[in-house]
Amino acid sequence: MPLPPCYHCGNKCESEEINIDDKLFCCNGCKTVYEILNQHDLCDYYDLESSPGTIPADIKGKYDYLDNELIADKLLEFNDGETAVINLFIPTIHCSSCIWVLENLDKLKWGIKKSLVNFPKKEVRVTFKIKDVSLKEIVELLASIGYEPYISLEDSTKSLKSQNRTLIYQLALAGFAFGNIMLLSFPEYFEMDEFWLNRFKPFFRILMFAFAVPVVVYSAKDYLISAYLGLRKGILNIDVPISLGILVLFFRSSYEIFSHTGQGYFDSLSGLVFFLLLGKFFQSKTYNFLSFERDYKSYFPIAITKVNRDESHESIVVNDIQKGDRLLIRNEEIIPVDAILINGNAHIDYSFVTGESDPVRKISGDKIFAGGKQTNGAIEIEALETVVQSYLTQLWSNDIFQNQYTKSIKNITDSISKYFTAIILLIALIAGIYWFKIDQSVAFQVVSAILIIACPCALALSAPFALGNMLRIFGKNKFYLKNAQVIENIARVNTLVFDKTGTLTSNRASEISYFGKELSKDELAKVKSVLKSSNHPLSRRLYTFLPNFKEQNITEFLELPGKGIEGIVSNASIKIGSSNFVEANENNTLLTEIFIKIHDEIKGKFVFKNAYRESIKETFDSISPVYKINILSGDNEGEKQFLSSLLPHDSELFFNQKPEDKLNYIKELQNYDQNVMMLGDGLNDAGALAQSNVGIAVSENINVFSPACDGILDASKFYHLPVFLKLSKLTMRIIIFSFIISFLYNIIGMYFAVSGLLSPVVAAILMPLSSITVVTFVTMATNFISKKLLL
């Protein structure tokens, strides 16, 4: 009596010696995995998938080199001495159970904080505590449970992943078999009655069968596996009808050949798989060409302040950072490159990278990692390398910062595809029964043609192509979004909420006047030294306005959002901010003012005359008929009358708003089923931006990088806001129209297939053509509307 398969991996068991809990295992590796999962109450894993990966034969001592700190540092993305992050390529990731196990590593090994899987790239990102677990132990754990990582110190992982030629091999095999089967089928096509042809006809048919087997087993395996796994989970994915068509053709043809009742349809079968793979290959090439991720990363706007040799400052794009550059990192700014701290009090918040919110204190000479946020004034660093742009975008796209109020278009597409597939299967069944009673040979052709022609591939492609192309167009016009999903969220928005300072007003065109006691050069130098650390728009404007002085070292810097900043400069206490913050008895509350307090003495105030952005009146006039507009400002009501004249009568204006007031106001709107887009400066408005359905940071210097926002709008393109809003809505209409095109195509194709007028091979040619048609339509349509509106 044969032994049952291994409980863990499903492989053949050679003996009954390796067992536990009446469960049999093929090797000690599988037994170990079961014991680990059982010990940590993770045996639900076996309800998901029986074959998570491949167990390595021997891992003992294989990864000893990871104990070498120099080697480990080359692999780690982040290491602050306490917490480390490693991104590992796992070739054996292939299903939902793989994701489930790999994202529960924290339950298998003490010291692992969290692990996130990037399924398309077959990567797992592990965050762990260095004191509790080593990199070697993590890699050995992964290998022991069947997920041995591919590790290359020469960074050859990327080339390994990018050179996956499986699809090309599958396509080549299908094409080779298709051509040869067609050649062998010619005598059958013409029904030639010739002695030698009749004598070798059985041999030719066996050859056709031999060519067809690898087509089904290898070339078509992805469709069959995907359909099987989907059905096993109770999901009708788009590969189910394709797989049924392939299997129907194969078994019907095999029956005819071995029963000597016909030549079968191996030519149609091989042609079907060939054209399916050809369409898949074309779609992958087209998608790579239109890859919005590549384009949006290349336009990603984060900039940084570079300190030149003459101590002057200039703003540069992070891509231009070179090794050895001195960089100024202000309060709340993200560190874009690995660097050495030169001077300043560094309190680095690495929560974007590790999830740890407690700031890490660093001193001069310490290494600082990219992705950290300075939280204690300004510091100067020296870049150790050029920036890795994809690393910053990875931080921005972290799941921690994803909005929870939206539903993905992908889910909508999948839902449509699911019901669509069920309907197709029902139609195929009814048509098959009908034709089987009339002509059995026609019945199989009809069923196969229906299952192929009605594949909703075009339906599934229209949304990502339309949204992806529009994301690329937005990026070219200096409107940078986190991902394509944000466009759909923008299309749902019905309420716009604006901050005033730095959003509606321009930092570059304003008048500043000083009232109070005259400040000495030393006092001005101290004030400017404190202002240097702040990223608030008013602080930046005043910093630029003041004359150049030799700046002094600042200690104990503190910034209170919506109130002001303070610090100790050369033993002098400096406070800069609102009248309440410095405790000034100021009666005039209708001006934008910054008060200066030195050594508990209020010296005076700087008064700002705001300059509003170009075409702001026209911008509000364009959006007011469609959207409800509200203003939330941390400033006083000095310009309430002017703003009221720009806005519709039903608009609400709130002043003296603290950051928490703005956040609570957004929540209140959402409680009344409002979809809110918040536009702010990205600093004091971070909470409101994160709470809103869509948060957009409007920036002039584009060096304030905040994962809390969904997009960054270059201030020079603020007047294009109505166009961006309109394009988002039009993009969703294009997607819906493409759905209609796809449905019409399927209805027409179904008519001919049900009538028996469409062969499977012709259906296989038309199916990828329909996908290409839809992709071409959405791409051309989005390009057309954008050129028309953005001229």
Alpha helices, DSSP H, located in 355-510:
389-396, 409-438, 440-453, 457-476, 485-492
> Comparing C-alpha atoms, which of 231, 257, 258 is closest to residue 242?
231
| DSSP letter for each residue of 429-474 | HHHHHHHHHH-HHHHHHHHHHHHHHT-THHHHHHHHHHHHHHHHHH
- Predicted confidence at residue 300, as pLDDT, reads 57
**CATH code of the domain covering residue 526:** 3.40.1110.10
- Predicted confidence at residue 329, as pLDDT, reads 87
Domain stops at, among 145, 162, 179: 162
Q: Is the residue at 407 inside a domain?
A: no
- Predicted confidence at residue 723, as pLDDT, reads 94
- Predicted confidence at residue 401, as pLDDT, reads 47
Q: Report residue 8's pLDDT band, with 50, 70 and 90 as the boundaries.
A: low
Per-residue DSSP letter, 595: E
| Enclosing H/E stretch for 72 | helix 69-75
Residue 157 pLDDT > 50: no
From the number of C-beta atoms within 10 Å of its C-beta (0-12, 13-18, 19+), residue 103 rates as middle
In this predicted model, which residue has the larger pLDDT, 129 or 99?
129
From the number of C-beta atoms within 10 Å of its C-beta (0-12, 13-18, 19+), residue 278 rates as middle
**CATH code of the domain covering residue 152:** 3.30.70.100
What's the whole-number mean pLDDT along residues 62-88? 81
Q: Report residue 773's pLDDT band, with 50, 70 and 90 as the boundaries.
A: confident
Residue 285 pLDDT > 80: no
282/771 Cα distance (integer angstroms): 10
Q: Is the residue at 9 inside a domain?
A: no
Residue 403 pLDDT > 60: no
| DSSP letter for each residue of 298-322 | HT---EEEEE-TTS-EEEEEGGG--
- Predicted confidence at residue 214, as pLDDT, reads 94
Q: Report residue 409's pLDDT band, with 50, 70 and 90 as the boundaries.
A: very low
pLDDT tens digits for 707-766? 668 888 888 888 899 999 999 999 999 988 888 887 787 788 778 888 877 776 676 567
Taking only Cα atoms into account, the Rg of the chain, rounded to an integer number of angstroms, comes to 32
Q: C-alpha dihedral over 742, 743, 747, 748, to 10 degrees?
A: -30
Domain stops at, among 128, 162, 196: 162
For the ranges 314-318, 327-331, 553-557, the maximum mean pLDDT occurs at 327-331
Q: Report residue 345's pLDDT band, with 50, 70 and 90 as the boundaries.
A: confident
Residue 364 pLDDT > 60: yes
Sign, Cα dihedral of 233, 238, 242, 244? positive
pLDDT tens digits for 138-149? 888 888 777 788
From the number of C-beta atoms within 10 Å of its C-beta (0-12, 13-18, 19+), residue 731 rates as buried
For the chain, the average pLDDT equals 78
- Per-residue b/e over 25-45, b at no fewer than 16 CB within 10 Å? bbbebbbebbebbeeeeeeeb
Which range, of 288-292, 608-612, 767-771, averages the lowest pLDDT? 288-292
- Predicted confidence at residue 218, as pLDDT, reads 93
pLDDT tens digits for 414-427? 556 566 667 777 88
Tokens of 554: 């600042």
Residue 389 pLDDT > 70: no
Residue 705 pLDDT > 60: no
Contact 26, 4 (CB under 8 A): no
| CA–centroid distance for 279 within its chain | 25
Triad 170, 175, 180: Cα angle to 5°: 130
278/766 Cα distance (integer angstroms): 12
341/363 Cα distance (integer angstroms): 7
Q: C-alpha dihedral over 230, 236, 238, 241, to 10 degrees?
A: 100
Question: In which order are the strands placed within the sheet that holds 652-654?
Answer: 479-481, 711-714, 694-699, 676-680, 495-499, 628-632, 652-654
What's the whole-number mean pLDDT along residues 603-607? 89
| Enclosing H/E stretch for 379 | strand 379-383
Q: Give phi and psi for 326, each to the nearest 5.
A: -90, 130
- Close Cβ partners of 58 (under 8 Å, ≥ 6 residues apart): none
491/727 Cα distance (integer angstroms): 8
- Close Cβ partners of 125 (under 8 Å, ≥ 6 residues apart): 85, 86, 87, 88, 115, 116, 117, 118
Q: Is the residue at 55 inside a domain?
A: no
In this predicted model, which residue has the larger pLDDT, 542 or 276?
542
Q: Is the residue at 450 inside a domain?
A: no
> Comparing C-alpha atoms, which of 249, 173, 177, 161 is closest to residue 218?
173
- How many residues can be counted in the chain? 791
Per-residue DSSP letter, 105: G
Tokens of 432: 């098959």
- Predicted confidence at residue 42, as pLDDT, reads 59
From the number of C-beta atoms within 10 Å of its C-beta (0-12, 13-18, 19+), residue 326 rates as middle
Strands 711-714 and 495-499, how do they pair? unpaired
Residue 101 pLDDT > 50: yes
789/791 Cα distance (integer angstroms): 6
Q: Is the residue at 140 inside a domain?
A: yes
> Comparing C-alpha atoms, which of 398, 346, 392, 394 is closest to residue 371?
392
Residue 172 pLDDT > 50: yes
- Close Cβ partners of 329 (under 8 Å, ≥ 6 residues apart): 304, 305, 335, 374, 378, 379, 380, 381
Distances (CA, A) of 593 to 131, 176, 281, 510, 579: 50, 78, 62, 13, 8
Q: Is the residue at 328 inside a domain?
A: yes
For 88, the 3-state DSSP assignment is strand
Contact 83, 360 (CB under 8 A): no
Contact 568, 545 (CB under 8 A): no
298/611 Cα distance (integer angstroms): 32
Q: Report residue 388's pLDDT band, with 50, 70 and 90 as the boundaries.
A: low
Domain stops at, among 584, 612, 640: 612
| CA–centroid distance for 410 within its chain | 13
- Close Cβ partners of 394 (under 8 Å, ≥ 6 residues apart): none
Give me the residue label for tokens 């050809």. 278
**H helices, E strands: number in the chain:** 26, 28
Long-range CB contacts (within 8 A, 24+) of 18-27: 27/55
- Predicted confidence at residue 452, as pLDDT, reads 66
Contact 330, 378 (CB under 8 A): yes
Residue 447 pLDDT > 50: yes
For 695, the 3-state DSSP assignment is strand
Q: Is the residue at 69 inside a domain?
A: yes
Number of domains the chain contains: 3
147/54 Cα distance (integer angstroms): 7
Residue 494 pLDDT > 80: yes
Residue 160 pLDDT > 60: no
91/142 Cα distance (integer angstroms): 12
| Enclosing H/E stretch for 31 | helix 28-39
Sign, Cα dihedral of 570, 531, 564, 336? negative
Which amino acid is located at 501 in the chain?
A: T
344 lies in which domain range?
303-396
- HEC profile of 577-591: ECHHHHCCCCCCCCC
Tokens of 293: 């991720």
Residue 495 pLDDT > 90: yes
- Per-residue b/e over 650-680, b at no fewer than 16 CB within 10 Å? ebebbbebebeebbebbeebbeeebbbbbbb
| DSSP letter for each residue of 631-686 | EE-SS-GGGHHHHHHHS-TT-EEE-S--HHHHHHHHHHHHHTT--EEEEE-SSTTH
Sign, Cα dihedral of 23, 26, 31, 34? negative
Which range, of 194-203, 359-368, 574-583, 775-784, averages the lowest pLDDT? 194-203
For 8, the 3-state DSSP assignment is coil
- Close Cβ partners of 712 (under 8 Å, ≥ 6 residues apart): 301, 479, 480, 682, 696, 697, 698, 699, 702
Q: Is the residue at 589 inside a domain?
A: yes
For residue 83, what are the β-bridge partners?
A: 129
- Predicted confidence at residue 607, as pLDDT, reads 87
Triad 397, 402, 404: Cα angle to 5°: 165
**CATH code of the domain covering residue 330:** 2.70.150.10
Contact 604, 626 (CB under 8 A): no
